């Protein structure tokens, strides 16, 4: 079970208790639409045959622009995860401006 399920469940429970049928209906319709799109992805991943042969890319991923962005993002996440104080200080300085 995920938190999204529990969130929808509580919204449905509150909607039924408060007799807010439009809210309950909107959640059910939205969930059905979401389920349709999730199932389409699953069907395309597992039940359809690939149209073209897969091949390995000749390029090294680290030398492409996307690879550079991934590498910079990974380094930033690692550094801010290990040493978050500069980011915390920046947020505390910006707090009076809000």
**What is the number of alpha carbons within 13 Å of residue 28 lying toward its C-beta?**
10
Residue 50 tokens, joined: 């690939």
Q: What is the pLDDT of residues 6-42, one digit of tens each?
A: 888 888 999 999 999 998 999 999 999 999 999 999 9
Please provide residue 19's backbone torsions phi and psi, each rounded to the nearest 5 degrees. 60, 35
CA dist., res. 88 & res. 80, Å (int): 10
Q: Which residue has the tokens 């149209």?
A: 51
Closest to 24 (Cα-Cα) out of 10, 37, 34? 10
pTM flag (> 0.95): no
Q: What is the pLDDT of residues 44-80, one digit of tens each?
A: 888 877 776 666 666 665 567 888 898 899 999 999 9
């Amino acid at each position: 079970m995920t938190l999204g399920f529990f969130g929808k469940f509580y919204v449905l429970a509150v909607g039924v208790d408060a007799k807010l049928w439009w809210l309950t209906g909107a959640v059910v319709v939205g969930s059905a639409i979401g389920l349709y799109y999730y199932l389409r992805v699953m069907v395309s991943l597992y039940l359809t045959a690939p149209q073209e042969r897969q091949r390995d890319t000749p390029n090294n991923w680290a030398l492409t622009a996307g690879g550079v962005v991934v590498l910079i993002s990974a380094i930033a996440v690692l550094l801010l995860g290990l040493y978050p104080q500069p980011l915390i200080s920046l947020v505390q300085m910006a707090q009076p401006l809000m």
